[in-house]
Amino acid sequence: MRRPLKALVLDADGVLVRSMERNAEAYRKALAPYGIEVNEAEVFENEGRRSRDLIDLVARAHGRVLAPNELDELTIQHQRIFVSFGRMPLYAGVESLLRSLRRAGVKLALVTGNWRENVTRNFGDLTALFDATVTAEDVAMTKPDPEPYRTALAKLGLPADSVVAVENAPLGIRSAKGAGLVVIAITSTNPAGRLTEADAVVAGLSNVLPARGTDQLVNGIVHIIAGRINYCIVEENSLLCGISDMGNVTYRIKGVLQFLK
């Protein structure tokens, strides 16, 4: 039986920040001199890995085995190219959603395989909205290992059954599930077919919680039926709730959004 929602833990790239397209471009430019043609799908599907590991994996998929010094040089080159693109934009509505959740008393955490330097540049002053941040420097093992999400739970001081994760890639989903979290996946960079390990799959972050009525949703709906709720998502003017003792079954509750407005 799950506890009331206490925190939302979010991936950064592809969930809050529109950066994955640029990330893929940085890999393409870095590996092009080696005759390796990187496609977006390879990068999107392997999001969450450290850059060095992703470069090694992609190179091997293209029939190249790179020496350790080459992997080190390409990791540095990828970061140099990525930084040269400047600050990446947040997806529409991200800032207002984060502020609404904070006003509702929901703790926020950021869990990313990216470097802290990139997180600080992209979020600026908004980093203060997060009660905990976990970047590549903070863990020995990155996604899909559960360590990043376990580290976030430790920083938040909360049990896994009171926290929901929002991810956009298979490795992130696996990491969060391994740490015991319910996971909502969004199809910002990967199709739904690649996100089947999540508890729910929706089109975008705006479907996770409504931009308006967030306070009522968190403090009213979730707490009234506390103990039986895995997640609540908004989709097509309906509230979809997953019930913990019925696995991944979802119930569509019509008309609830009219109450929330």
Confidence of residue 184 (pLDDT cuts 50, 70, 90): confident
Within 100-162, strands assigned E span 107-111, 132-134
Nearest alpha-carbon partner for 205 in 189, 216, 221, 227: 189
The domain made up of 20-84 is a member of CATH 1.10.150.240: yes
Neighbours of 72 (CB within 10 A): 13
Type and span of the H or E element at 58: helix 51-61
- DSSP string over 189-249: SS-GGG-TTSSEEESSGGGTS-SSSHHHIIIIIIHHTTTSEEEEEEETTEEEEEEGGGTT-
pTM for the full predicted model: 0.79
Q: In this predicted model, what pLDDT tens digit does every residue of 196-218 receive, in sequence order?
A: 898 778 777 766 654 334 434 44
Domain boundaries, the chain: 7-18+89-260, 20-84
pLDDT of residue 255: 31
Q: Which of the given ranges, 24-38, 160-174, 222-236, has the highest pLDDT on average?
A: 24-38
pLDDT of residue 2: 52
Q: In this predicted model, what pLDDT tens digit does every residue of 39-85 receive, in sequence order?
A: 999 999 999 999 999 999 999 999 999 999 999 999 999 999 999 99
The domain made up of 7-18+89-260 is a member of CATH 3.40.50.1000: yes
Within 15-137, strands assigned E span 107-111, 132-134
